Amino acid sequence: MAQHHSTVFTVFTPTYNCAHTLHRVYRSLCEQTFRDFEWLVVDDGSTDNTGDLVRQWQEQANFPDRYHQQANQGKAVANNFAAQNADGLLFLTLDADDVCVPTALERFHFHWRSIPEVQRPTFSAVTALCMDQYGRLIGTRFPQDIMDSNSAEIRYRYHVLGEKWGFQRTDIMRNYLFPTDSSYRAIPESITWNAISRKYQTRFVNEILRVYYQRRYENSVQRSYSMASAAVHDPYGHAIWHRAVLNNDLRWFRYAPLEFVRSAMHFERFSLNSGVSTFAQYSELTNWLAKMLWLITLPLGLLLHWRDRSLVGKSSE
């Protein structure tokens, strides 16, 4: 953390053909009460007028506004570029169709500075709550208004649910870049977040600092097809995520056994959809409890695998 940074926050916005919503981010940044930040927009090959909009805002903004356009390579590549080129000490992702409240950066900075300086090297993040566009809290609150923990304990022990929002230290983001192997397309971001949380603490605060615009499926049939399609066409990243849960997080098993049963089942499902044999799956698990859960749930994983194939096959007829 001794590296010099020219600003406190880098607000990173990855975008792809979001010119119709990107103004939300820009407007909310203009309204921030804390001004020591830069805005870094990484455009993943948009074909709309995103570039023209951002260049127009660069002439008007009273904060540093940087724009980088790359060929369409996905959010992981955009995220890695931003982390490696951020000038801020703290790295905050704000998606291209969301909003933060005017005091968001001020409150994040306050909570970060409230962590004793001698303890800060053991912390990576501050995480807050979100509301939807109608002002409703998304998910559940943290057990305490201010608490120091990690994402695994928050999820498994305290059963906190729903979308949350926070920053990470930029130096840590550079050490935990997102996987970008071209042999698979979709990797859950939580693989990286969980890896960070196994080494560093997070300060969780019960303050609503982000407006998350919820996307809704037209109906349950469409949602089922979408999930099955993703399971068939982009399965490997999800298999990796569930494997990481089984290999690294089972110390929380007693607090949420069904969560790990589901992970074992979905590890089988996504692995089979990726063409990974059952023998190879078993050999990828590193502890006896994970192997036992895998064996118990193998029939369910097979059923889900067959259902995915059936749903996607019917939709293409």
Based on the structure, what is the number of domains in the chain? Answer: 2
Residues 204 and 292 in one domain: no
Asked if residue 300 is part of any domain, the answer here is yes
Same domain, 197 and 235: no
Enumerate residues 6+ apart whose C-beta is below 8 A from 282. Answer: 291, 294
The residue among 212, 243, 258 that closes a domain is: 212
Question: What's the pLDDT at 68?
Answer: 94
Per-residue pLDDT at 82: 96
**C-alpha distances in Å from residue 296, one per residue of 142, 236, 299:** 33, 22, 8
Cβ-contact 12, 92 below 8 angstroms: yes
pLDDT of residue 17: 94
Residue-level pLDDT at 88 = 97
**Domain termination residue (choose one: 212, 236, 251):** 212
pLDDT at res. 316: 52
pLDDT of amino acid 283? 97
**135 & 228 share domain:** no
**Could you say which of 212, 237, 262 is where a domain stops?**
212
Domain residues for the domain of 239 are 220-315
Walk along the chain (317 residues) and give the pLDDT tens digit of each residue. Answer: 446 679 999 999 999 999 999 999 999 999 999 999 999 999 999 999 999 999 999 999 999 999 999 998 888 899 999 999 999 999 999 999 999 999 999 999 999 999 999 999 999 999 999 999 999 999 999 999 999 999 999 999 999 999 999 999 999 999 999 887 655 556 778 888 899 999 999 999 999 999 998 765 444 444 444 555 566 667 888 899 999 999 999 999 999 999 999 999 999 999 999 899 999 999 999 999 999 999 999 999 999 999 888 876 655 55
- E strand or H helix at 132, and its extent? strand 123-132
